[in-house]
Structure formats: C-alpha cells, structure tokens
Structure 1
Amino acid sequence: MVEDRRSLFITGLKNAHAMENQALSIIKPQLKRIENYPQVAARLETHLRETEAQITRLEDILASLDEDNSTLKDWMLSASGSMAAIGHSMADDEILKNSFANFAFENFEIAAYNSLIVMAELGGFQGAVAGLQQNLSEEEDMAAWLQDNLREVTTEFVARREAGESAKV
C-alpha cells in the first residue's frame, strides 16, 4: 500500500510539473501582447517568476524521491497552453477571455496542490508539504488578484471600446 501511495504521489507531482509548464505557455504569450493593461502585465510578470520557482520546487521534491519530471507530459500540456493563448488572441475581447481562462486555470492549480498535499500527508512525504504549500499559496494569491481585478479590467475594456481605442490587450 505504501508503494501505491508513493506511485500516486509521484504521478501527481509529474502532472503538477507539466501543469506549471502549461501555465508558462499561457502566461508568456499574454505578456508579449499586453499593451493597454499595465496592472495585468505587472501581475502576470510576477506570477511568471512565481511559476518558474514552483517548477523548481516540484523538481526538488521529485529529485528527493529519486524521480524526474515527465518530458512528454510537460511538452503536451505546454502545447495545449500555447494553443489556448493563440485562440484567445483572435477574440475581440482577448483581455477578458484571458482573465476568465487565467482565473479558471488558477483554481485548477489550487485544487491540484490541495490534492497533492493530502497525498504527501497520506504517503508520509512530510518533506514535500512545505514546498507544495508555498506553491498553493502563490496560486491562491494569483486567483484572488484575478478575482479582485476582474471588475477593473472589464470596466477598462468597456471604456476603451466606447472611446474607439484598442481594447483587446
């Protein structure tokens, strides 16, 4: 049973690593395109650095278990994140679509880290909990920021559209 818990935890860690690589493939294209929403760009830039640190934490946890990330999972989820970013770039309300998708993705990450923390506790991997908790905290902060700023972003989007200015990003 302990080996099953270890295997489940390792799979979850590899999935989380791929998930964070997917996050990078979503954030980076958004940052390249944002021109009119500096508050969003600044927060995404901060979260980009957080996400890179989260990947390092996950790699450290995997290494402590003599495991490595899954290159295939990383590549597949990165590709899907890039496709989502491309899809949103064609929308007239790109900034809103990105805001909605980012909020949903942050909540997905929150659920994943909550689950991983439980698996770490059940499997006796207490050394992993602090790093996972740090990742969870950063995702919760980003989700809260997105929720708290959706009204401002939407108001700015509408005002720009009404003024005939570029409202996309």
Structure 2
Amino acid sequence: MPTDQDSLRELFITGLRNAHAVEKQALSIMTPQIARIEHYPEVAERLREHVDETNGQIERLDELLAAFDTSGSALKDAALSMTGGMAAMTHSLAGDEIIKNSFANFAFEHFEIASYKSLLVLAEDGGFGQAMTPLRQTLDEEVAMARWIDEALPTVTRRYATLYAEGGSGHAKA
C-alpha cells in the first residue's frame, strides 16, 4: 500500500476528475438513445432514470472535488462527451441499434463499476473518509443499472428478433 499521502491525494483527485468526465460521457451516450427509442419503452424509461442518477453522480463528484479545492477537468469532460456522442451516432446508423446500444451500455456500466471500486480503495487508503458514502452510493447505482441491462437483454433481443422477423427493421425507432 502506498504511504505517500501527497501521491494518494493526487491519484484520488485524478480519479475523481476521470470519473467526472466518464459520467459526462455517459450522459452523451444515453441522451441520444432515449430520443430514438420507440419499440422499447422500458429501456427508454430506465435510461431516463439513469440519466437522473448520473446527474446526481456528477453533483456528488463536484462536491468531492470542491472539498479538495478543485473541479472537474473541462478538457476531459469535453473530450469524453464528444466520443460518447460519436459512439451513439455510429450506433444509430446500424439496423440493430438497440442491440449494439445494449452491449455498449452493459460494457460501459462495468467500466464505471471498476472506476468506482478503484476510487473507493484510494479513498480508504488515503484516509478520505468523506468520500466513501457518496462513492458507494454511486457504485450501488451503477451496479443496479448493469444488473438491469443484464436482465433486460433477453427481452430486448427477443423483441428485436420479432420485429425483424415481422418485416420491421427492429430499429430502436421505426
């Protein structure tokens, strides 16, 4: 375990900034998906709920960063938001957009889960106890979303296959 408090503090702040940028990226991925979903109302509803959760996560990260007299990285936020928007746009061109989005969302949630688990280790080792509760809350939200996507994937896949077989494209929006 590293013992240099300054190094741990620096790593932790960098991790918080990275998480902030990742949450901004999540918004740029989910928001266009919601606008395009028609045949999958339960997916749209859960994404809307997670957008609200994500906004709360960003607020918690802002508060944690402010406690260290710093803020998110505008450059990281912008760069990851742009890549998230590009990914969402690329999937919108695919006939199986809902499937590709489901795969990407599942992977992205697990990336976030790993990020928050790592931040919790740094918070514990660095003695940043004030960060533990908000980070655990966010981790719990990400785990719940990943679980929901996992449980919904068979239904989404079957609905897509049914729409496709009926002569529809199965697109998120027909």
Normalising to structure 2: TM-score of the pair? 0.96
Q: Give, in angstroms, the shift of residue 164 of structure 1.
A: 1.4
The superposition leaves residues 19-75 of structure 1 with CA deviations (integer Å, 9 ceiling, x where unpaired) of 000000000000111111001000000000000000000000011111111000000
Choose which of 95, 98, 101 in structure 2 pairs with 1:95: 98
Match of residue 52 from structure 1: 55
Structure 1: tracts of 5 or more residues without a match: none
Choose which of 144, 147, 151 in structure 2 pairs with 1:144: 147
Q: Give, in angstroms, the shift of residue 165 of structure 1.
A: 2.4
Give the letter aligned to residue 114 of structure 2: A
Contact 2:95 2:169 in 1 (8 A): no
The superposition leaves residues 66-94 of structure 1 with CA deviations (integer Å, 9 ceiling, x where unpaired) of 11110000000000000100110011100
CA distance in 2, matches of 1:98, 1:168: 11
Identity of aligned pairs, percent?
A: 54
Match of residue 129 from structure 1: 132
Normalising to structure 1: TM-score of the pair? 0.99
Structure 2: tracts of 5 or more residues without a match: none
Matching of residue 31 in structure 1 with residue 63 in structure 2: no
Q: Give, in angstroms, the shift of residue 166 of structure 1.
A: 4.0
How many residues in Structure 1 have an aligned counterpart in Structure 2? Answer: 169
Deviating 4+ runs (over 4 angstroms)? none
